[in-house]
Amino acid sequence: MTNHILEVKQLIKKYNKFSAVKGISFNLAKGETLAILGPNGAGKSTTLKMIYATTPITSGQVLINGIDVAQNARRSKWEIGVVMQEDLLDTTLSVLDNMVAHAILFDIPFKLARKRGIELLNFVGLSNYWNKQVYSLSGGMRRRLVLARALVNNPKLIILDEPTTGLDIQSRHVFWAKLNELKLQGVSILLTSHYVDEIETLADSVLMIDHGTIIASGKVNTLASELGYSNLETAYLSLTKFDEEAKNIEQTRS
């Protein structure tokens, strides 16, 4: 039996003649956290959407806990929880009702869904807000609610697409703390992020991608030195040719 919760094999996504993802392969071990780092348009979100079956795979294969996503998308979704960039919360419902409504999608009986919803709201620090309307929550609280909702089916893998974008520093640290608690419980985490400090805080391993391809991969605490750089941020900026882009911008201004 494989020790990988997620296996991605030669994943390709094409939109007509444009290739957004160009043969990406990687694995995520059970109980570990893998971060995908890359600039806008690198293919990060497209890769995640193929993994959680909201965008068709052009070619390649994704296995979640041994389940082929292309062949059994519904079954694969029972293994995962997803925190997308858009929270898709129902603002006409209360905080707890959002939890219950999501749980019912997984055929969880109402009483159990309500019990589990309250437990998870306690976990993310929203125990005093379960009867509030969603529109009354701050941005940080909404992100924590989305995380709680993603856990309602007891997933083995959590997928997060730039989960703390737009949050203030305090809210980011609260969110990070909850993710690290989940990791200690044995939950596997796959996330994309623009923030190197977020990746250094949360991830065991990192993939750097640009223009739909993997340009570097390895352990977060050793990858930079292996590539001959002083730190991860410097490695990322160099490998994505940020220095060349900055020079071009400066030349255009002058």
Mean pLDDT in runs of 10 for the chain (254 residues)? 88 94 96 94 93 94 96 93 89 95 94 96 94 92 94 95 89 92 94 91 95 96 95 93 52 41
Going by C-alpha positions, the residue among 106, 134, 102 that lies closest to residue 117 is: 102
Going by C-alpha positions, the residue among 3, 15, 28 that lies closest to residue 207 is: 28
Q: What is the pLDDT of residue 166?
A: 84
The whole-angstrom separation of Cα 99 and Cα 96 is 5
Q: What is the pLDDT of residue 244?
A: 52
Q: What is the pLDDT of residue 243?
A: 56
Domains of the chain are 31-37+79-248 (3.40.50.300)
The whole-angstrom separation of Cα 107 and Cα 93 is 19
* This prediction's pTM: 0.90
The whole-angstrom separation of Cα 230 and Cα 245 is 21
CB 81 within 8 A of CB 153: yes
